[in-house]
């Protein structure tokens, strides 16, 4: 999401800055690259495709993930949503920008209330059968569309685990909040954009006091273990049996992420981080 065009989001980095980061990530074994047709209005996919060609990365060594549903480009008629026409158009456009023959995992970015789910699923099925897509998935879909379940952290995750559905958390560092002390702010991180755009903290809706206390506990454990706060947060997430999407726009962030290998929290540390949790509003859905 961070690769593309600063005109889309100020924290994005352009192609010249993105290519070395992608190369370093690949060299260190990070081979699953997640994007969406809407990120930088398609520029993110183009940058990733250029990186693959620039560094002559074998196609079978990468797992390419992209999404469809959103579209912010001109000529958007019949290109927004999950109709058969929209899905086919966006997948072909993504493949063209990437310069690839197939997508490893295509995910619907949101649920489309205007299109029958049968139409969407048949279109996705046909794309898999055609060879343009290997696997399908969802991103930010209401639990009731899988099964009747009420709360993301509890019901949805339990349901997915029980039915063998993999879980890939996005924004695992809460847009930077869980990677820095509560009082520290840097404009370059996603976390600061919420204040600029909405005047409210996106990840502190409902319980800002508890959030700050939890963040302080992350900092405390990081200090005791000699880790970064990001490492503590990601170790907790990995311990839940999930595979988070980690945003990296700098070479040092790539190294920090790879450095997570072998890191884990003990039971007392996990309990210490979790005991202040309170159920909260679900964010991200339209």
- Give mean pLDDT in consecutive 10-residue pieces for the chain, a chain of 286 residues: 86 92 95 92 94 97 94 64 92 97 94 86 95 90 51 68 84 87 63 47 58 92 94 93 86 86 94 86 60
- Looking at residue 249, what is its pLDDT? 82
- Looking at residue 148, what is its pLDDT? 37
pTM value is 0.68
Report helix, strand and coil shares of the chain as percent, to nearest 5: 45, 10, 45
Tell me, rounded to whole angstroms, the distance of Cα 50 from its chain centroid. Answer: 21
Domain with CATH 3.20.20.100 in the chain: 1-141, 169-286
Out of 1.10.10.10, 2.60.200.20, 3.30.450.20, 3.20.20.100, which CATH number does the structure's domain 169-286 have? 3.20.20.100
Q: Indicate which residue of 26, 39, 69, 102 is catalytic.
A: 39
Q: Where are the alpha helices (DSSP H) in the chain?
A: 15-27, 43-54, 84-98, 117-130, 157-163, 190-198, 208-225, 229-238, 251-258, 267-274
- Looking at residue 165, what is its pLDDT? 84
C-alpha atoms less than 13 angstroms from C-alpha of 36 in its C-beta half-sphere: 21
- Looking at residue 286, what is its pLDDT? 55
- Looking at residue 199, what is its pLDDT? 40
DSSP state of 132: S
Domain 1-141 -> CATH class: alpha beta
Nearest to 61 by CA among 96, 22, 91: 22
- Looking at residue 251, what is its pLDDT? 87
Q: Is 26 a catalytic residue?
A: no
- Looking at residue 85, what is its pLDDT? 92
**HEC letters along 88-129:** HHHHHHHHHHHCCCCEEEEEECCCCCCCCHHHHHHHHHHHHH
């Amino acid at each position: 999401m961070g690769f593309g065009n600063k005109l889309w989001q100020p924290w994005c980095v352009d192609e010249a800055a993105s290519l070395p980061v992608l190369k370093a990530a690949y060299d260190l074994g990070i081979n699953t690259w997640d994007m969406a047709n809407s990120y930088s209005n398609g520029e993110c996919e183009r940058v990733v495709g250029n990186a693959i060609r620039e560094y002559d990365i074998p196609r079978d060594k990468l797992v390419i993930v992209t999404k469809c549903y959103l579209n912010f480009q001109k000529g958007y008629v019949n290109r927004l949503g999950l109709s058969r026409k929209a899905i086919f158009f966006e997948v072909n456009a993504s493949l063209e920008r990437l310069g690839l023959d197939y997508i490893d995992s295509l995910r619907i970015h949101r649920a489309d209330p205007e299109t029958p789910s049968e139409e969407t699923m048949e279109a996705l099925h046909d794309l898999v059968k055609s060879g343009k897509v290997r696997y399908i998935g969802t991103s930010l879909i209401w639990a009731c569309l899988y099964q009747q379940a009420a709360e993301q952290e509890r019901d949805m995750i339990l349901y997915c685990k029980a039915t063998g559905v993999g879980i890939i958390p996005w924004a695992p560092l809460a847009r930077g909040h869980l990677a820095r002390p509560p009082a520290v702010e840097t404009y370059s991180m996603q976390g600061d954009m919420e204040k600029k755009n909405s005047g409210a903290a996106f990840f502190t809706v409902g319980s800002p006091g508890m959030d700050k206390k939890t963040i302080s506990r992350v900092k405390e454990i990081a200090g005791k273990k000699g880790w970064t706060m990001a490492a503590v947060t990601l170790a907790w997430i990995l311990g839940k049996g999930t595979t988070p999407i980690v945003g990296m726009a700098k070479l040092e962030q790539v190294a920090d992420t790879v450095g997570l290998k072998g890191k884990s929290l003990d039971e007392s540390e996990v309990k210490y981080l979790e005991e202040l949790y309170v159920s909260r509003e679900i964010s991200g859905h339209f």
